[in-house]
């Protein structure tokens, strides 16, 4: 990606100089507007290069997450400069619509055609870099805006050369500014979401919690947070209440597997608390199925007085039938399984 950004920076500087000179010589706002956009682009490529280099620095004692998010910050700055450039182009377009100057359409079209070729090459190079980060995405948005600017300037130049309609120049510039604003605003929003620790697109914290509850031995999940640490790295944290009769290390592995397979989350921090109710039950001996169901129903009813006793009894009975051996069963296991079943039912509702 850095090689592509260096290439884009070099080409951008060349096109910038050519468009400024041609815009002044031929009196074209479309060329000058595209040149103004090129100023933000050249700056964007420079910022993107710097951010890409800084993001490779390892974490330290004071910056424990490293500098991965500096690319997100660079994308936000680049999006903001695009919005500012679009506002200036729109203002100048309206002013020239009211009082259009004389424009050399042929010369304007020629320079725009050269810029079009250069911008196509830059866009292809950035696309072939294979990076999907917001930093390179911002650079591609700048290059795409330049491509649209060149197309607008070329179209306006042809119209002016053939018809003498000078207002084609500011009209093309105004259309360009509106197109740039749409893309820049999406980039600013995406960057701000990352910096504000919003959940990534396609991942919902409630869904993450529901997935964790499906792990056997997990009784309750709350205080779930999901965010993007750096481009390509999604993290999650949660408080988890588990049954005392399950191995916590095994549960942690199982929950990490669910996060990775269901949501693509490979960096998680899970605070585990063993269920106190289970801790008080751990020495209870095996019972007949009916007695175990009654015991579990009473225990769950005390823990969750808001639940209907009939619903609790049904869940306990189903749990007991699934694990009973020789007509006897552990009331602890019945209670744990029934609680898990009730929790999942509540989540589904």
pLDDT at 130: 64
Structure tokens at 173: 């510039």
Dihedrals phi, psi of 230, to nearest 5 degrees: -160, 165
- In this predicted structure, the answer to whether residue 88 has a pLDDT above a threshold of 80 is yes
Average of per-residue pLDDT across 240-268: 87
Structure tokens at 223: 């205080």
- In this predicted structure, the answer to whether residue 273 has a pLDDT above a threshold of 60 is yes
Average of per-residue pLDDT across 15-32: 78
Domain that includes residue 227, residue range: 199-274
Average of per-residue pLDDT across 210-221: 87
- In this predicted structure, the answer to whether residue 227 has a pLDDT above a threshold of 70 is yes
**Shared-domain flag, residues 204 and 263:** yes
- In this predicted structure, the answer to whether residue 279 has a pLDDT above a threshold of 60 is no
Among candidate residues 274, 308, 339, the one where a domain is terminated: 274
Buried b (16+ CB within 10 A) or exposed e, 197-218: eebbeebeeebbbbbbbbbebb
Among candidate residues 147, 162, 195, the one where a domain is terminated: 195
pLDDT at 223: 92
d(CA 52, CA 142): 17
Largest CA distance in the chain: 98
- In this predicted structure, the answer to whether residue 22 has a pLDDT above a threshold of 60 is yes
- In this predicted structure, the answer to whether residue 235 has a pLDDT above a threshold of 90 is yes
Range scoring the smallest mean pLDDT among 13-22, 33-42, 157-166: 33-42
Between 39 and 133, the more confident residue is: 39
Answer for the pair 96, 103: CB distance below 8 angstroms, yes or no. Answer: no
Q: Which contacts qualify for 121-125: CB closer than 8 Å, 24 or more apart?
A: 121/11, 122/7, 122/8, 122/11, 122/12, 122/146, 123/147, 125/4, 125/7, 125/8
Here the CATH number for the domain that contains residue 228 is 3.30.70.1350
d(CA 102, CA 90): 19
Half-sphere exposure (Cβ direction) of 72: Cα atoms closer than 13 Å: 19
Q: What is the pLDDT of residues 53-63, one digit of tens each?
A: 887 788 888 88
Closest among 4, 15, 27, 2 to 145, alpha carbons compared: 15
The predicted model scores a pTM of 0.60
Going by pLDDT thresholds of 50, 70 and 90, the confidence category of residue 225 is very high
- In this predicted structure, the answer to whether residue 166 has a pLDDT above a threshold of 50 is yes
Among candidate residues 170, 195, 220, the one where a domain is terminated: 195
Answer for the pair 238, 206: CB distance below 8 angstroms, yes or no. Answer: no
Q: What is the pLDDT of residues 102-155, one digit of tens each?
A: 777 777 788 778 878 888 888 888 887 766 566 677 778 777 877 887 788 888
Average of per-residue pLDDT across 95-108: 79
Kind of pairing between the strands at 233-242 and 218-230: antiparallel
**Shared-domain flag, residues 182 and 259:** no
Q: How many domains does the chain have?
A: 3
**Shared-domain flag, residues 204 and 346:** no
Half-sphere exposure (Cβ direction) of 236: Cα atoms closer than 13 Å: 31
**Shared-domain flag, residues 46 and 178:** yes
**Shared-domain flag, residues 28 and 135:** yes
- Under DSSP, is residue 287 helix (H, G, I), strand (E, B) or coil? strand
333 CB-near residues (< 8 Å, 6+ apart): 245, 319, 323
pLDDT at 282: 45
Range scoring the smallest mean pLDDT among 111-115, 235-239, 282-286: 282-286
d(CA 174, CA 338): 64
d(CA 237, CA 214): 17
Answer for the pair 42, 12: CB distance below 8 angstroms, yes or no. Answer: yes
């Amino acid at each position: 990606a850095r090689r592509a950004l260096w290439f884009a920076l070099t080409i951008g500087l060349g096109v910038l100089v050519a468009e400024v000179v041609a815009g002044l010589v031929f009196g074209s706002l479309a060329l000058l507007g595209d040149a103004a956009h090129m100023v933000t682009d050249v700056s964007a490529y420079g910022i993107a290069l710097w951010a890409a280099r800084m993001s490779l620095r390892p974490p330290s004692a004071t910056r424990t997450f490293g500098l991965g998010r500096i690319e997100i910050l660079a994308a936000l700055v680049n999006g903001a400069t695009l919005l500012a450039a679009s506002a200036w182009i729109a203002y100048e377009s309206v002013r020239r619509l009211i009082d259009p100057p004389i424009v050399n359409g042929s010369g304007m079209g020629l320079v725009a055609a050269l810029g079009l070729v250069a911008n196509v090459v830059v866009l292809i190079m950035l696309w072939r870099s294979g990076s999907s980060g917001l930093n390179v995405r911002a650079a591609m948005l700048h290059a795409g805006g330049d491509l649209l600017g060149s197309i607008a300037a070329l179209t306006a130049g042809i119209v002016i050369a053939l018809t003498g309609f000078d207002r084609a120049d500011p009209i093309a510039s105004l259309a360009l500014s509106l197109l740039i604003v749409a893309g820049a605003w999406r980039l600013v929003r995406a960057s701000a979401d990352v910096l504000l620790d919003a959940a990534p697109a396609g991942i919902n914290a409630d869904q993450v919690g529901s997935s964790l509850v499906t792990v056997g031995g997990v009784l309750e999940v709350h205080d779930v947070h999901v965010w993007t640490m750096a481009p390509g790295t999604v993290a999650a944290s949660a408080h988890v209440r588990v049954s005392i009769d399950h191995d916590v290390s095994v549960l942690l592995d199982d929950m990490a597997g669910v996060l990775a397979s269901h949501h693509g989350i490979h960096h998680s921090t899970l605070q585990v608390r063993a269920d106190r109710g289970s801790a008080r039950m751990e020495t209870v001996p095996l019972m007949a199925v009916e007695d175990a169901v009654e015991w579990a129903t009473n225990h769950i009813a005390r823990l969750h007085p808001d639940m209907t006793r009939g619903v609790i009894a049904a869940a306990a009975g189903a749990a007991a039938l699934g694990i009973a051996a020789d007509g006897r069963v552990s009331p602890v296991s019945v209670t744990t399984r029934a609680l898990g079943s009730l929790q999942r039912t509540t989540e589904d509702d």
